[in-house]
Amino acid sequence: MKYPSSTKKSKKTLMSVVTIIILVVVIAVVLFFLNNVSSKEEETQVNENGSNNVGEQGKVVNDRIPSEVTPIDIDKDLDDQPNSQTPVDNKDKDDAKDNNNSEQKENRVEKEDDNGYIVGLSLPLEPTYIDGILITNKKYPLPKSFSPGESVEARVAFEDMATAASEAGFELTAFSTYRSFEYQTTLYSRYVERDGKDNADRYSARPGYSEHQTGLAFDIGEVNREDLWLTSEFGESEAGKWLVENAHEYGFILRYPKGKELITGYMYESWHFRYLGIPVATEVYESGVTLEEYLGIN
């Protein structure tokens, strides 16, 4: 009789083990289900806070981004600024300058060759304006198609300056102003042929890199003193000295001063003046810096 009794007992034990397992599974399923439901409710709440558009979660997230990530908009405005001629107050100008500088520094990782040009840089499709000022040097070339002709405003300013100079006893003339891309090509090739590329690069710009292509650069000399044209001696003449001291009052600056070759990319040119308008020319003159330093791109 021991046998049946023991079989009955073990059957009972098995039954209760199975029951416990089933209970545990059921509890686990219920807990899992409850957990799932509560997290779904949380998600729904987040969506409702963000927008009424609860159904499309992806769309809701996208809708919220623009109002929160305003810096993107600010950057864009500043990027646009240099190209616009709209006057801005000084603080905005400084902000724009800083923004531009950091952007341009990022672009300046390219290697320079021995003559200061950036290796492999091709001519751009648009000219570069910083704070509304057109900049042209060995790092910021002009498009081949940029051909504004001589600036009327700069010519008027030059004539005013020449009148004032003549009252001071000097007869000034602008013997070279606007040069087209094509003309600069001819000129530069001629200089390279005569003096070699390295020498030519020190006093003549490669096509697309000449400030004369802007129509804002004026090479100035004294009438009947052609012997001093394009020489550093002109800077030591009375007329040359008068120009350096007074040009800003008419909107011009001496563009390539002595000892700044590494910054401007050109040796001292006592005759080359750049029109900037009276306010900017005066600021540059009074601060005693080059245009590159003034714009923060040296």
Residues that bind Zn ion (CB under 5 A): 219, 272
**For Zn ion, the closer CB: 103 or 261:** 261
What's the number of CA atoms in the CB half-sphere (13 Å) around residue 106? 5
Per the DSSP assignment, residues forming a β-bridge with 130 are 133
Answer for the pair 130, 100: CB distance below 8 angstroms, yes or no: yes
**For Zn ion, the closer CB: 219 or 293:** 219
**For Zn ion, the closer CB: 57 or 180:** 180
**For Zn ion, the closer CB: 218 or 285:** 218
**Least distance in angstroms from the C-beta of 272 to Zn ion:** 4
Cα–Cα distances in angstroms (integers) from residue 107 to residues 104, 141, 297, in the given order: 5, 14, 11
**For Zn ion, the closer CB: 219 or 249:** 219
**Residue 126 annotated to the active site:** no
**Least distance in angstroms from the C-beta of 256 to Zn ion:** 8
Answer for the pair 99, 91: CB distance below 8 angstroms, yes or no: no
Cα(26)–Cα(174) distance, integer angstroms: 98
Nearest residue by C-beta to Zn ion? 272
**Least distance in angstroms from the C-beta of 66 to Zn ion:** 48
Closest alpha carbon to 266 in 256, 279, 251: 256
**Least distance in angstroms from the C-beta of 284 to Zn ion:** 17
Q: Is 40 helix (H, G, I), strand (E, B) or coil?
A: helix
Ranges of beta strands (E only) in 100-207 are 128-130, 133-135, 172-176
**For Zn ion, the closer CB: 219 or 283:** 219
Cα(130)–Cα(273) distance, integer angstroms: 19
Question: Rg of the chain's alpha carbons, rounded to an integer?
Answer: 37
Cα(274)–Cα(256) distance, integer angstroms: 9
Please state the φ and ψ torsions of residue 269, each to the nearest 5 degrees. Answer: -125, 100
Q: In the structure encoding, which two tokens stand for residue 66, read together? A: 């623009």
Task: Say which of 150, 211, 222, 269 is annotated catalytic.
Answer: 269
Longest dimension (CA), the chain: 144
**Least distance in angstroms from the C-beta of 254 to Zn ion:** 11
Answer for the pair 256, 212: CB distance below 8 angstroms, yes or no: no
**Least distance in angstroms from the C-beta of 219 to Zn ion:** 4
Catalytic (active-site) positions: 269
